[in-house]
């Protein structure tokens, strides 16, 4: 009865276009009043507030601010120049440059939509000018931008660590190889997809030049050092992920103001305002969602769901396939942040009961949900790329279908080859 009331009211409110954070809170209150015997209404409000009293959650506004400052401070442009000097001469070079630049910027911003906006503003017009097609240009940028949620430092992994009680440092490490794998597959797909186009004009980088690589590397070295300082400091034990996020902000200001000299006082103010808007929405949802998760735990709903799934099949592979399909569907309709905080307390116990490593499952979950970035109707990255590229949304969706298939191949490899996720955490731990 509790499950029916809780999830029935939640999905009804979402279908009525109620904001997801508010839907989570209202459905939890309805369930406490009408179906839950073990939770008081005062407990809900206490949990919603105390859930935000979390040191790891402080990393979210800092990493968000660092990414915004880097985007406004000239970092994205220099990373693009470096990526283009490396692979711009290859067939489909501009698309491959876009993927590689997104990988670089993902290691700074920690956000998928932010990566699409920063890189896409330069690369989508460039690809359109060379006849790559507006749909493909926007679609490949949207897909590559999803790596912002996988390659560390990732805001999604921070939320997952808080919601599931997992080591954020281990999750960061676990995302490195899967993120690179997705990037490589997207670059290979870009090569073959562009090669089929007959009217694509050659890149400005017709030949590979060590001199060009060196010059662009020299200009972008301060940008490239960002993930090395942040992640190197974490794994060397110099600072925690939360402290690293504050270091990233300080470094972004120093580089933007004193080295690249492109970050003005107005840019810093605009970055602070943008960060407040983003993190305000995220933390509001997180507080209500963790109160929701508390209700799930008290009412033993995850245990009930786990037992039900095991009754269907006790084969871990079949259960993982079922979970993947479920997460892909959820990711198409519900925001990544909400999905993480709602589903982690439900699905993580199921996975661990089946013998799946919780860190590995965390990566599976994030990859599934980030595919939702390029899956309509939500498809946040698709909307961002469509807006940046001034391309009709339906054109971008059509062009994204083969790229979506490539992402599914990556998901299958990550799901059924655990060492792709666990190799680096096991080495460092």
Question: Does 116 reside within a domain?
Answer: yes
Angle between helix 20-34 and helix 2-15 axes, rounded to 10 deg:
150
* DSSP code per residue over 372-408: GGGSTTT-HHHHHHHHHHT--HHHHHHHHHHHHHHHH
Of the CA atoms within 13 Å of residue 50, those in its CB half-sphere come to 8
Residue in this structure with the two tokens 């283009």, named with its chain if needed: 84
Contact between 112 and 64 (Cβ < 8 Å): no
Supply the pTM of this predicted model: 0.80
Residue 15 CB neighbours (<10 A): 10
Q: Residue 276: its pLDDT value, please?
A: 87
**Per-residue tokens: 385:** 């790329």
Phi and psi torsions of 39, nearest 5°: -130, 135
Q: Is residue 380 situated within a structural domain?
A: yes
Is 404 contained in some domain?
yes
Q: Looking at the domain assignment, is residue 83 inside a domain?
A: yes
In a domain, 10, yes or no: no
Q: How far apart are CA 410 and CA 167, in angstroms?
A: 24
Question: What is the sign of the dihedral through the CA atoms of 134, 330, 47 and 13?
Answer: positive
Buried b (16+ CB within 10 A) or exposed e, 316-331: eeebbeebbeebbebb
144 three-class SS:
helix
Could you tell me the residue range of the domain that residue 196 belongs to? 57-292+301-428
* The total number of structural domains that make up the chain: 1
Q: Tell me, what's the pLDDT at 34?
A: 84
- Is residue 52 a part of any domain in this protein? no
What was the pLDDT predicted at 204? 54
Rounded to whole angstroms, the Cα distance separating 290 from 51 reads 6
Show Cβ contacts of residue 422 under 8 Å, excluding neighbours closer than 6 positions.
Answer: 174, 357, 359, 360
Per-residue DSSP letter, 335: -
- Model pLDDT, residue 224: 82
Per residue of the chain (429 residues), what is the pLDDT tens digit? 777 888 888 888 878 878 777 888 888 888 888 877 777 778 778 878 887 777 777 888 888 888 788 878 887 778 778 888 888 778 788 898 889 888 888 777 667 777 887 788 888 888 888 888 889 999 999 999 888 889 888 888 988 998 888 999 999 999 999 999 999 999 999 989 988 877 776 665 557 788 888 988 898 898 888 878 887 888 788 888 888 889 989 998 999 999 988 899 999 999 899 888 878 877 777 788 778 877 877 777 777 776 777 777 778 888 889 899 989 988 887 778 878 888 888 889 888 888 899 999 999 999 999 998 898 877 888 888 888 888 898 899 899 999 999 999 999 999 999 999 999 999 876
In contact, 396 and 143? CB cutoff 8 Å: no
C-alpha 179: how far from chain center: 10
**What does the buried/exposed string (b/e) look like for 252-283 if buried means 16 or more CB atoms within 10 Å of the residue's CB?**
bbebbbeebeebeeebbeebeebbeebbeebb
371-384 residues labelled b (16+ CB within 10 A) or e (exposed):
bbbbbeebbbbbbb
Paired tokens of 420: 């792709």
Instruction: Classify residue 61 by its DSSP letter.
Output: H
Would you mind telling me the total number of residues written for the chain in this entry?
429
Closest alpha carbon to 178 in 201, 154, 207, 159: 154
Residue 325 lies in a domain: yes
pLDDT the model gives residue 89: 78
Give, to the nearest 10 degrees, the angle between helix 168-195 and helix 210-235.
160
Residue 196 falls within a domain, yes or no?
yes
Three-state secondary structure call for residue 206:
coil
Q: According to the model, what pLDDT value does residue 412 have?
A: 96
**Burial group, residue 202, by CB count within 10 angstroms (0-12, 13-18, 19+):** exposed
Instruction: Check residue 317 and give its pLDDT.
Output: 85
């Amino acid at each position: 009865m509790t499950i029916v009331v809780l999830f029935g009211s939640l999905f009804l409110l979402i279908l009525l276009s109620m904001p997801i954070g508010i839907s989570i809170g209202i459905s939890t209150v309805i369930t406490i009043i009408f179906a839950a015997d073990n939770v008081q209404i005062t407990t809900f409000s206490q949990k919603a507030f105390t859930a935000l009293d979390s040191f790891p959650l402080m990393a979210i506004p800092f990493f968000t601010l660092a990414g915004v400052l880097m985007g406004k401070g000239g970092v994205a442009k220099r990373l693009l120049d470096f990526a283009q000097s490396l692979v711009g001469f290859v067939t489909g070079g501009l698309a491959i440059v876009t993927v590689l630049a997104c990988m670089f910027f993902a290691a700074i911003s920690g956000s998928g939509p932010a990566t699409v906006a920063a890189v896409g503003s330069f690369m989508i017009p460039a690809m359109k000018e060379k006849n790559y097609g507006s749909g493909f240009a926007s679609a490949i940028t949207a897909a590559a931008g999803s790596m912002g949620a996988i390659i560390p430092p990732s805001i999604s992994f921070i939320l997952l660590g808080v919601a599931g009680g997992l080591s954020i440092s281990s999750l960061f490490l676990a995302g490195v190889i899967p993120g690179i794998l997705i990037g490589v597959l997207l670059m290979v797909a870009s090569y073959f997809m562009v090669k089929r186009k007959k009217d694509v004009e050659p890149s400005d980088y017709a030949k590979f030049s060590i001199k060009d690589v060196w010059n662009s590397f020299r200009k972008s070295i301060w940008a490239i050092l960002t993930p090395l300082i942040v992640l190197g400091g974490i794994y060397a034990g110099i600072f925690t992920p939360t402290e690293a996020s504050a270091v990233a902000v300080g470094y972004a200001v120093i580089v933007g103001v004193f080295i690249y000299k492109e970050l003005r006082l107005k840019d810093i103010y605009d970055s602070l305002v943008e960060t407040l808007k983003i993190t305000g929405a995220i933390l509001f949802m997180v507080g209500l969602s963790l109160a929701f998760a508390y209700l799930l735990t008290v009412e033993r709903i995850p245990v009930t769901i786990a037992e039900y799934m095991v009754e269907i099949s006790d084969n871990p592979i079949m259960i993982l396939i079922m979970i993947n399909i479920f997460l892909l569907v959820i990711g198409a309709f519900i925001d990544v942040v909400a999905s993480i905080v709602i589903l982690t307390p439900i699905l993580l116990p199921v996975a661990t009961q089946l013998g799946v490593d919780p860190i590995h499952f965390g990566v599976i979950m994030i990859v599934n949900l980030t595919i939702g970035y390029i899956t309509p109707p939500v498809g946040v990255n698709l909307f961002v790329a469509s807006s940046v590229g001034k391309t009709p949304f339906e054109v971008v969706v059509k062009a994204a279908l083969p790229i979506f298939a490539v992402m599914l191949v990556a998901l299958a490899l990550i799901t059924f080859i655990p060492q792709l996720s666990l190799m680096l955490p096991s080495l460092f731990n």
